[in-house]
Amino acid sequence: MEKDILVKLPLKQNLETTKVLKQLAKTSRSLAELKGVAKTIPNQNVLINAIMINEAKTSSSIENIVTTHDEIYRAMINPSNTTPEAKEVVDYRSAIWEGYKSVKENKLITKNTITKIQEKIEHNNAGFRKTPGTVIKNTTTNEIIYTPPQTYNEIIDYLNNLEVYINSIDDDIDPLIKLAIIHYQFESIHPFYDGNGRTGRILNILYLVYMDLLETPILYLSKYIIKNKIEYYKLFQETRKSQNFENWILYLLKGIEQTSKETINMINKISNEIISMKHELKNNPISSKIYSKELLEALFFEFYTKIPYIQEQLKVSDKTAQKYLDTLVNLGFLSSDKIGRERIYKNERLFNIIKNFDNNDEALNDINIETVEK
């Protein structure tokens, strides 16, 4: 078997070509704007929750785990009565949250951070590959595309090298260029039996937060990747062959620029919806009596809420919480479902905004690249 090239980091070539620098300026501008716009929303969890749902759904769908928002909604409320796909998406979202907390607390991204994320996605603690035989295959044509490092020692060696690269924050290279290199390198090491794609895409956002390019995890490239999936796969191989990273870097920089702009749009939509609901609540003679800033915030924290959440967040009795929520249902601000024994109150307006920002289903299933055992 011919051995594929995988060079250790840092790369010795000049990565800051004219084209890259031009694109970098545009990308940095959009990303900085996103960082600013995000700050205008008082409760960051509103954004994080809303945006992460779509990322979990889209990133999973790159790996052919396909579900719907309605199914995800059911899975969030009642995990024991749902499809495996929806459950995977909900777990993926928890994995992002966990990774984010870990980076905030430890101020480092280590092998351990990465394993923990993958563990959460895959529900097993197999850890890094110990048995040789893993390849990346086009399962449509059955062609082996790439053979990653095979032995445990090699994998750990490459990961140690990557870990140093990620955490050396004073080197003279723009973090957005580094992000591209890190993603290429991580996927090329392909350290796990499965879940490398999804884990690698979480690593991207953790790196943006780690480098303080964003304060919270709200920018995800999966939607861009799925729209440009054939190019994504092609660029891995072209870069591997030529060892010229320019097109790879440009691909990801463009993705960050586009996605920043889309995310700004989504944030503006959410922000406008919060403002209009606020006015409607205050102007209605019935809801004006129960209106508070905290209530409004609670209604947008997730796209659904429950009596105990309102009870806790507003520090009111369960009776009062229920009265508030039922009033909001009667006035048409929320809809209500009984799931199991629990009553769920749904903010359809927020749910629809989230749903509408995720229209990439048409791009699915054109090509399947998967990690398989030979």
In the complex, the residues that contact Mg ion under the rule CB under 5 A are 63, 194, 370
Q: Taking the alpha carbons of 256, 302, 68, 370 in that order, is the dihedral positive or negative?
A: positive
Structure tokens belonging to residue 48: 């994080």
88 or 302: whose CB is closer to Mg ion? 88
Q: Which listed range, 71-79, 231-239, 323-331, 349-357, lies at the site for ligand ADP (CB under 6 A)?
A: 231-239
Rounded CA separation 168/354 (Å):
36
Question: DSSP letter at 344?
Answer: E
194 or 302: whose CB is closer to ligand ADP? 194
Listing DSSP states for 309-342 in one string gives HHHHHHT--HHHHHHHHHHHHHTTS-EEEEETTE
141 or 288: whose CB is closer to ligand ADP? 141
Q: Smallest distance from the beta carbon of 371 to Mg ion, in angstroms?
A: 5
149 binds ligand ADP (CB under 6 A): no
4 binds ligand ADP (CB under 6 A): no
193 or 345: whose CB is closer to Mg ion? 193
Q: Smallest distance from the beta carbon of 51 to ligand ADP, in angstroms?
A: 19
200 binds ligand ADP (CB under 6 A): yes
Tell me the C-alpha to C-alpha distance, in Å, between residue 84 and each of 118, 127, 246.
Answer: 17, 22, 39
63 or 257: whose CB is closer to ligand ADP? 63
146 binds ligand ADP (CB under 6 A): yes
Which one of ligand ADP, Mg ion, none interacts with residue 324, CB within 5 to 8 A by kind?
none
230 or 331: whose CB is closer to ligand ADP? 230
370 binds ligand ADP (CB under 6 A): yes
**x/- binding map, residues 6-45, to ligand ADP, per CB under 6 A?**
----------------------------------------
158 or 236: whose CB is closer to ligand ADP? 236
> Would you tell me how many other CB atoms lie within 10 Å of the CB of residue 374?
10
Do residues 54 and 357 make contact, with C-beta atoms less than 8 angstroms apart?
yes
Q: Smallest distance from the beta carbon of 88 to Mg ion, in angstroms?
A: 11
Rounded CA separation 147/371 (Å):
10
Do residues 358 and 57 make contact, with C-beta atoms less than 8 angstroms apart?
yes
Rounded CA separation 230/151 (Å):
29
What value, to the nearest 5°, has the Cα angle with vertex 128 and ends 3 and 145? 35
371 binds ligand ADP (CB under 6 A): yes
Tell me the C-alpha to C-alpha distance, in Å, between residue 311 and each of 307, 315, 316, 317, 337.
Answer: 6, 5, 5, 6, 18
Which one of ligand ADP, Mg ion, none interacts with residue 236, CB within 5 to 8 A by kind?
ligand ADP
